[in-house]
Structure 1
Amino acid sequence: MSLSIEDEALHLQSSERSWRESYYFNFVDEESGISCFATIGIMPNLKIREFVFAIFYKDKKKIYYNELKSSIPVDLNEILSDGKLCFRLERPLKQWQIFFNDPEFSVDLSWDSRSPPIDFGEGSGTSWLRHFEQPGKVRGKMRLADGTSIEIDGLGQRDKSWGPRNWHIDGWFAMHAQFNELSIGLRRDTVGSTSKTSGYILSGNEIVAISDLELETIFAKGTNRMPVGAKTVIYGSDGSKYSLVSKLMAPNTCAKFERDFGQSVTELYEEMAIHECSGLKGRGTGLIEWLITRTKVFG
């Protein structure tokens, strides 16, 4: 199934309570030291919208979360705004605007595509029915509480997914890596002893599917066992191979979210990252993300 501009709108949901449609964006501007991710998750059968905005600058970070419980509006622009965080579609599959209004950080961003959207396919993961991703260029301004205005000019990624959402699998790893001449988007979902890798390598105008992934997760020292980096070897279906070393952009460029499922807890780590790739000039930027399910210890 090919993508069309209609896929920017909400899809007709199934009757499953866990049906979720999500819009997600991130970017890193290494020169200014600003990085960010933002998302909205729409759950029509539960009449819930989740808004998340996280921005990191120097030693500061702001994590905004708002869950709205009400009937889902009809108009898309109204759906995608809670009055403080707003996503606005300008040109389907090409351009979005993102606004965040807060006394500490006020942000006005324009997200423009670097390539056509890349379809991860039906059933390409355990957490959606359909999913696509798209690398982009992000420009805009951030205003601080003291009136300082900082220009933003960075690279980033967006994705959109829809379908029944299972947050309680054994785990997943996802990565976005933006280089001037290359973009990589991937994820690996693990359920029991089975792992499924999906994603792409974009070099110039050529899109290559990822066929396999080797992953070594680097954990923080101490008892918290937080993932703080990754070593990956990424194999393209055309025989290409990329070896990356990824680490946090700065110690504070991370966010952790937890969900309690009774006997176990899932921990989601979203981390803005710097990537080094052997054979490529310059550093890349982007995201490394883990979902980790931990069994509780009782008694």
Structure 2
Amino acid sequence: MPVSDRYVMRPEHEFMHAPDSSPNFNESVYTNGFDSATRFGGWMRLGNRVNEGYAELSVCLYLPDGRIACQFLRPEITSNDRFDAGGLRYTVDEPLKSVSMHYDGDLIIVDDPDALRDPKQLLAHGPRLKGRVSWQHQAESPIHGGEPAHDGVQTMYGRDFSLGHFNQHGRVRGTIEVGDKRWTLDGRGWRDHSWGPRYWQVIYYYRLFIANFPNGDAMMLLKITDKTGKVRREGVLLVDGVYEDILDLDVQTDWTEKQDPRFVRLGVMTANRKVRIDGEIMTLAPLRNRRKAGDETLVSRIAEGFTRFRWGDQEGLGMTEYIERIEDGKLVGYPL
């Protein structure tokens, strides 16, 4: 079914896609959920890279006491017939309306997020507790994205990063258990699903902002820049259950001494409105992705910030994600 004049979305896109011959074929799902009353939550991602024989497993939880509980693994897989690896499982309960994600396994407890900047020691010897995460997403919005309707349409992050991509905001309910602590999550969140060849280092740099607000409104905003300096602005505001495509997006960032985003000011324009949205990054996980390319090691910074956003009189929770290549020791997008 057409989602717009730009994308086509079929119910079968909710399920697995046949891998092509690309060595870096990826099919991935991501969900997040945050509870505004308790101010906690997190995100989980599973990316099948079947032609490389493994999945990328990521679990990152922002706990009420300010600590991070996380896990990053590359469990072996031999097929792309399901999302189920390393203790993380994703199921489609009702296509285009409801999905669930569950994790059962160890979590690394991070008292100081700076330890994630060079995580080798932390991942090998960091303190661990038994963890269990289970939540369900129920749609509060239409689907945004899908397969491009024609060759002139980009996917959200570009066709060299995914051939198809869709996302959706919704209600999130579930539980998070870390050691002997247990929290009930009753909030909102966002999910996406993408497929096609992917290397993280294809992204030169981007700034992504995702949030839900107590009145049911929400946002997904992306500013992405390629190596030539060409900029695309993509995304939507969700207002009264209807997505409004953005026409323009301004991003201003206040930075820490370590060149991490600390506060963002967003100016957003759709055909129906112009709004200002501010975001305070409360806890940031400074992650990295590395890939060998011949004799060279390509490195990208992936900054995952748990963020409190304000849009008018509404205060919501979500994520600020800054991804960029690191070249000659420098972040290519800083200070933009």
In structure 1, runs of 5+ residues without a counterpart are none
Instruction: Report what 1:50 is aligned to.
Output: 56
Identity score, percent: 21
CA apart distance, 1:85:
1.8
Instruction: Report what 1:72 is aligned to.
Output: 79
**Aligned AA (1:116):** P
Q: 1:187 aligns with which of 203, 222, 226?
A: 222
Distance change in 2, residues 1:85/1:255 (3 Å): farther
Give distance in 1, aligned partners of 2:179 and 2:76: 30
Deviations 1:130-155 (A, max 9, x none): 21110011111223422x43211111
- Equivalent residues of 2:171, 2:188 under 8 A apart: yes
CA apart distance, 1:82:
2.2
Give distance in 2, aligned partners of 1:166 and 1:73: 18
Deviations 1:157-201 (A, max 9, x none): 001111222422320111112112421112222112101121111
CA apart distance, 1:216:
1.3
Instruction: Report what 1:287 is aligned to.
Output: 319
Q: 1:256 aligns with which of 260, 264, 287?
A: 287
- Equivalent residues of 1:116, 1:134 under 8 A apart: yes
CA apart distance, 1:239:
4.4
Distance change in 2, residues 1:106/1:181 (3 Å): closer
In structure 2, runs of 5+ residues without a counterpart are 1-6, 106-128, 149-153, 331-336
Deviations 1:93-114 (A, max 9, x none): 2112222224443222122111
The count of residues paired between Structure 1 and Structure 2 equals: 286
- Equivalent residues of 1:28, 1:272 under 8 A apart: no
Deviations 1:28-50 (A, max 9, x none): 11222322110111123222211
Instruction: Report what 2:233 is aligned to.
Output: 197
Give distance in 2, aligned partners of 1:226 and 1:203: 30
Q: 1:106 aligns with which of 132, 139, 146?
A: 132
Give distance in 2, aligned partners of 1:142 and 1:206: 30
Alignment of 1:34-183 (within 5 A): 34-57=40-63, 58-72=65-79, 74=81, 76=82, 80-102=83-105, 103-119=129-145, 122=148, 123-124=154-155, 125-126=157-158, 127-146=161-180, 148-168=181-201, 169-179=203-213, 180-183=215-218
- Equivalent residues of 1:20, 1:42 under 8 A apart: yes
Distance change in 2, residues 1:239/1:73 (3 Å): closer
Distance change in 2, residues 1:97/1:263 (3 Å): closer
Give distance in 1, aligned partners of 2:138 and 2:197: 28
- Equivalent residues of 2:133, 2:177 under 8 A apart: yes
Distance change in 2, residues 1:284/1:120 (3 Å): farther
Give distance in 2, aligned partners of 1:118 and 1:297: 36
SS in 1 for 2:38: coil
- Equivalent residues of 2:46, 2:88 under 8 A apart: no
Deviations 1:59-88 (A, max 9, x none): 3211111112331153x2xxx222522222
CA apart distance, 1:11:
1.9
Taking only aligned residues, the RMSD between alpha carbons, in angstroms, comes to 2.1
Give distance in 2, aligned partners of 1:166 and 1:260: 8
Give distance in 1, aligned partners of 2:22 and 2:197: 7
Instruction: Report what 1:274 is aligned to.
Output: 308
- Equivalent residues of 1:263, 1:296 under 8 A apart: no
Instruction: Report what 1:265 is aligned to.
Output: 299
Provide the TM-score with structure 1 as the length reference.
0.88
Give distance in 2, aligned partners of 1:120 and 1:73: 19
Moved more, 161-170 or 267-276: 161-170
Instruction: Report what 1:230 is aligned to.
Output: 264
SS in 2 for 1:202: strand
CA apart distance, 1:255:
4.3
**Aligned AA (1:85):** L
Alignment of 1:211-226 (within 5 A): 211-220=247-256, 222=257, 224-226=258-260
1:207 aligns with 2:243: yes
